[in-house]
């Protein structure tokens, strides 16, 4: 993907500050024409610069106050099938393939310790899972963010 320019970064930063503002309000606040902002946003969307709305929904508001990270050790030849099985567990909110000791890092949300035990059992029951190690998220120290990268600008990447 091609790097964003300064105008794109300004648009994205303004959207981070107020994601519900209209294109007209965004254009006015940035001193750009509505057409420029709309065209830029269309290109950003084509470049997949926007994540899904899911990232803005707090699981606590849905009744899932406990977050855990589960390191999963798997049989490599069953990885594709395992990804499908994990996606079928609603409490699995994301999973990443890793290098290192564990093969996958799975982020789950639960209603509490007993529910986490149930979810871990579902993961262990998936074909291809050898073992898991669970770590509770005690506190979110740095929430998901993109602002600092956008503020740093393209000159810092080179």
Question: What pLDDT is attached to residue 156?
Answer: 52
- Rounded Cα distance between 17 and 10, Å, is 11
Asked whether 54 and 61 are in contact (CB, 8 A), the reply is: no
Q: Report how far residue 107's alpha carbon sits from residue 68's, in angstroms, rounded to the nearest whole number.
A: 6
pTM of the model: 0.83
**1-50 and 60-136 share one fold:** no
Fold of the domain built from segment(s) 60-136 = Alpha-Beta Plaits (3.30.70)
* Residue 52: predicted pLDDT: 84
Sequential DSSP letters for 58-74? -GGGGT--EEEEEEEEE
The CA distance from 108 to 99, in Å, is 20
**26/129 Cα distance (integer angstroms):** 48
Q: According to the model, what pLDDT value does residue 1 have? A: 53
Strand locations in the chain (E): 66-74, 92-97, 104-110, 129-136
Looking at the domain that runs over 1-50, which CATH code has it been given?
A: 1.10.10.10
Instruction: Identify the pLDDT of residue 22.
Output: 94
What's the rounded Cα separation, in Å, for the pair 38 and 88? Answer: 36
Q: Where are the domains of the chain?
A: 1-50, 60-136
Gap between the Cα atoms of 119 and 123, Å rounded: 6
Along the 158 residues of the chain, how does pLDDT read in single tens digits?
A: 567 899 999 999 999 999 899 999 999 999 999 999 999 999 999 988 888 888 889 999 999 999 999 999 999 999 999 999 999 999 999 999 999 999 999 999 999 999 999 999 999 999 999 999 999 999 999 999 999 999 987 655 54
SS3 state of residue 141: coil
């Amino acid at each position: 993907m091609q790097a964003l320019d300064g105008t794109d970064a300004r648009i994205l930063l303004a959207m981070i500050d107020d994601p519900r503002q209209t294109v007209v309000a965004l254009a006015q606040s940035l001193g750009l024409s509505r057409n420029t902002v709309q065209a830029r946003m269309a290109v950003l969307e084509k470049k997949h610069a926007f994540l899904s709305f899911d990232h803005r929904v707090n699981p606590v508001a849905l009744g899932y106050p406990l977050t855990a990270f589960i390191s999963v050790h798997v049989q490599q030849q069953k990885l594709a099938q395992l990804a499908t099985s994990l996606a079928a567990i609603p409490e699995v909110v994301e999973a990443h393939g890793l290098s290192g000791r564990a093969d996958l890092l799975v982020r789950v949300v639960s209603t509490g310790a007993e529910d986490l035990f149930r979810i871990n059992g579902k993961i262990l029951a998936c074909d291809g899972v050898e073992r898991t190690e669970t770590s509770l998220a005690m506190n979110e120290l740095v929430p998901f963010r993109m602002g600092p990268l956008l503020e740093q600008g393209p000159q810092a990447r080179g």
